[in-house]
């Protein structure tokens, strides 16, 4: 009886291994595709003279050939545009030197083949610097995000949920 149960157990384990080992790689487009996942704000009030909101923007991505991330770390490939809500209409804001576009993690540059996952980019809004651009407490911002792969294929554009500036500050 013990031998019979052991044989069945090994057979089931082997069958399970074969089923999981035969899983095909996903068939994603070579042009990256993204979707908005989350916007989270962490307020740092430890320096009362310069409080900071750190805005964490998370997107989910898929790319068929895995050429996400700049292995030379030169070009911005996580592209961010900010829009300020004025009288109910979102208006593009040129952030100038405070452009929050960035470089995707270099770890992605080591992968060949289909790739998917989540990327989180941190965007700090301190009370002094963006205020020089005309931002005020309780302004509503929204961001548009796009990524670019190493073959210069641009993903679709996604919008975040609203961010209300410095709402936790006194």
Task: For 34-72, write each residue's pLDDT tens digit.
Answer: 999 999 999 888 888 788 889 999 999 999 888 888 667
Structure tokens at 54: 């750190």
Q: 27-164 architecture in CATH?
A: Sandwich (2.60)
Report the distance separating Cα 10 and Cα 67, nearest Å: 40
Domain locations along the chain: 27-164
- Global pTM value: 0.78
Model pLDDT, residue 145: 96
Could you tell me if 111 and 149 are in contact, meaning their C-beta atoms sit under 8 angstroms apart?
A: no
| Nearest of 55, 52, 65 to residue 113 by alpha carbon | 65
**Residue 19 pLDDT > 60:** no
- Rg (C-alpha) for the chain, rounded Å, is 22
Model pLDDT, residue 69: 80
**Residue 2 pLDDT > 70:** no
Model pLDDT, residue 129: 58
Model pLDDT, residue 52: 87
């Amino acid at each position: 009886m013990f031998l019979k149960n052991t044989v069945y157990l090994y057979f089931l384990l082997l069958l399970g291994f074969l089923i999981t080992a035969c899983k095909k790689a996903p068939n994603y487009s070579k042009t990256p595709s993204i979707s908005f996942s989350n916007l989270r704000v962490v307020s740092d009030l430890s320096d009362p003279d310069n409080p900071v909101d750190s805005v964490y923007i998370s997107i989910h991505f898929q790319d068929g050939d895995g050429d996400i991330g700049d292995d030379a770390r030169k070009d911005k490939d996580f592209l961010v545009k900010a829009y300020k809500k004025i009288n109910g209409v979102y208006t593009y804001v040129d952030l100038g030197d405070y452009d929050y576009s960035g470089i995707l993690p270099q770890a992605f540059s080591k992968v060949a083949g289909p790739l998917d996952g989540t990327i989180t980019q941190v965007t700090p809004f301190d009370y002094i610097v963006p205020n020089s651009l005309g931002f005020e407490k309780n302004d509503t911002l929204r961001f548009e995000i796009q990524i670019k792969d190493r073959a210069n294929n641009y993903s679709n554009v996604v919008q975040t949920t609203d961010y209300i500036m410095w709402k936790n500050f006194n």
